[in-house]
Structure 1
Amino acid sequence: MAPELSKVIPSRFGDLEYAEAGAGTPFLMVHGTGGGFDQGLFFANRFSDAGYRVIAPSRFGYLRTAFPEDPSSENQADAFVDLLDALHIDRIAVAGGSAGALSALAFAIRHPTRCAALLPLVPASYVPRQTPVQSVPPDQMQMAMAALRSDFLFWLAIATVPDLLTEALLATKPALVKAADSTEQARARHILDSILPVSRRADGLLNDARLAGNPAPMAIETITAPTLAVSYEDDGFGTAAAARYIGERVPGARAHIYPDGGHIGIGHDAESFALVDGFLKEIGYA
């Protein structure tokens, strides 16, 4: 984490932290579980390098962003409007990764005139199913969650049982990471390492567990923005089904499902960037 890279503005829900990278077409990158503005910048670095102005907020309960009394996805979407107003941006393409897709979807539903395109990436959003997805056994997940308020315990877990955290928190099979090239292995490790300091993200993490663990239905059939949902068939959080559901329910939406990659898209980083970039160019946004 590099707080000197970020700024804080007042929003109707308290302080809202964000950072920017690049220049050009605005692109709002909404981070996933365990993130913050730093994760948003990291996941969108190909976009900032390619001529996009990446704006990466920290969601409720992450780093220097407030944790309001009602930290709902809908309120988070409204806070994004406050950020866009402060930056004098009328319309923007919004990408939401994992649990961040919930507030991205809410933004497209609640503020259609501000949403130029919607990109739910491995969306931890509603899909009809009998039981919630559980990527790892409950006892292992409980061990992972127990470390969330202790930076030392979390660091120790990364150092001693990285495979457990890769599967529990990144919903990606460790064998898939080990079989990838060195660049992708380093990317996976960076995602895990950058959850530290976890104590500054614990409120957001636990709120994400509540909102995304068994997500509520949303009125996605009312979304009017051009939409592309992306996921991976072997994502341990089951987001391939959610991406397909978005593709079926949002008018005119597309869903692109890669056969493998886990929750963090191992082996498909450059490919998925090209897919999204091509989509934004096709609809005339980029």
Structure 2
Amino acid sequence: MTRYHREMRAIKKYINNLDSRVIETNCGSIEYAKIGNGYPVLAVHGNAGGFDQGLIMANKTINSKFQVISVSRFGYLRSSIPRKASVAMQADAYASLLDSLNIGKTAVVGYSAGSASSIQFTLRYPERVSALILVSPAAPGKGPVMSKALFNIFFRNDFVYWATITYFRSWVQDAWIGVPKEFTITPEYEANIRDLLFHILPVSARVDGSFFDIYTSSPEIFNSSKNENYPIEDIEIPTLVISAQDDPLALHENAQALVERIPHSRLLALPDGGHLLLGHNEEVKSEITRFLHSNKVSIDKNI
């Protein structure tokens, strides 16, 4: 228990030192952190995340000359979750956040489960999006399903989650964060996996958001071909989709189909790396930078 308490203190100190802020809007409390001074990029984290995970992913994939606005989505950390929350409401919350920051237009990067609200924001506020980037996206098609019993065991109790990732990491890395079973784990990749799993703590501060993602947001986007709330073909914003061919969570075939439906989109297909795109951070960062440049997004100033 001594190690558990020490590591919990460390992760909470780490989050506090990131100096996030909370604003109040018609959509409730919204937590965010902002780094950099260049053209704004809204970073939308995946499942079991928060603004802190958004910053971690942005550091791996977005050029440091951009300004990153990383938001905690509904129910994550200090962001509230409204009654009868919807993905469309989450998109409205992004608009409220940008209003409060006096940002009229931004590029949007949605990671994993964050792609659903990123797509909704682009559909609802196209005049505010200069470019859309979806990384390992939850997309229409087949998707993973977690039983509520399993969710309640592992994601509502900090100690149970900590013990699982500490002593049974190899058991969870495939099912929870999408590392392919056949993928060769180098010491560097092992460190990356351990770091990501550790930074999901405290799960007790992310449980409401994760529950919304797993049982509302992700199923909605998986089944969006039957849902009039997702007219994906109407997206006119330049879109880049990034997907690994061996991703066991956000299936590559779904990413391919997504690109076929979005008119001005293209796909960066990586041969391996799983859901975390292990081994491809620099390639992904370079491709995102080129994509933003090609769509007249400046890394030097807000235009």
Same fold per TM (> 0.5)? yes
CA distance in 2, matches of 1:30, 1:73: 13
Partners of 2:63 and 2:289 within 8 A in 1: no
**Is 1:72 equivalent to 2:79 in the alignment?**
no
Match among 137, 142, 150 for residue 157 of structure 2: 150
Shift of 1:259: 1.4
Match among 284, 288, 292 for residue 272 of structure 1: 284
- Aligned partner of residue 44 in structure 1, secondary structure: helix
Partners of 1:151 and 1:197 within 8 A in 2: yes
Match among 281, 286, 294 for residue 282 of structure 1: 294
Give per-residue Cα distances to partners, 1:90-130, cap 9 Å, x unaligned: 11000101110000000110000001100111111213xxx
- Aligned partner of residue 158 in structure 1, secondary structure: helix
**Is 1:20 equivalent to 2:31 in the alignment?**
no
Correspondence for 1:170:
177
**Is 1:185 equivalent to 2:198 in the alignment?**
no
Correspondence for 1:39:
53
CA distance in 2, matches of 1:133, 1:223: 22
CA distance in 1, matches of 2:121, 2:144: 27
Match among 210, 226, 241 for residue 229 of structure 1: 241
Shift of 1:145: 5.0
CA distance in 2, matches of 1:60, 1:21: 21
Match among 67, 81, 84 for residue 53 of structure 1: 67
Correspondence for 2:16:
3
Correspondence for 2:203:
198
Letter in 1 for 2:174: E
Shift of 1:70: 2.3
Letter in 2 for 1:172: V
- Aligned partner of residue 24 in structure 2, secondary structure: strand
- Aligned partner of residue 33 in structure 1, secondary structure: coil
CA distance in 2, matches of 1:169, 1:47: 21
- Aligned partner of residue 278 in structure 2, secondary structure: coil
Shift of 1:173: 2.5
Partners of 1:74 and 1:106 within 8 A in 2: yes
CA distance in 1, matches of 2:152, 2:192: 22
- Aligned partner of residue 174 in structure 2, secondary structure: helix
Shift of 1:133: 3.3
- Aligned partner of residue 176 in structure 1, secondary structure: coil
Partners of 1:177 and 1:185 within 8 A in 2: no
Letter in 2 for 1:164: W
Correspondence for 2:218:
212
CA distance in 2, matches of 1:238, 1:199: 25
CA distance in 2, matches of 1:144, 1:11: 30
CA distance in 2, matches of 1:164, 1:12: 41
CA RMSD of aligned residues (A): 1.9
Give per-residue Cα distances to partners, 1:53-91, cap 9 Å, x unaligned: 000000001000001112211110110000000000011
Letter in 2 for 1:81: A
Correspondence for 2:227:
none
Which stretch shifts more, 268-277 or 28-37? Answer: 268-277
Shift of 1:189: 1.5
Structure with larger RCO (C-alpha < 8 A, sep 6+): 2
Q: How many pairs were matched up?
A: 277
TM-score normalized by structure 2? 0.86
Sequence identity percentage: 36
**Is 1:256 equivalent to 2:256 in the alignment?**
no
C-alpha spacing 1:133/1:216, structure 2 compared with 1 (3 Å): closer
Correspondence for 1:115:
129
CA distance in 2, matches of 1:133, 1:105: 17
Shift of 1:8: 0.2
Which stretch shifts more, 211-220 or 30-39? Answer: 211-220
Structure 1: segments with no counterpart, 5+ residues: none
Shift of 1:186: 2.0
CA distance in 2, matches of 1:196, 1:96: 21
CA distance in 2, matches of 1:145, 1:251: 40
Letter in 2 for 1:265: L
Shift of 1:177: 5.7
Shift of 1:185: 2.8
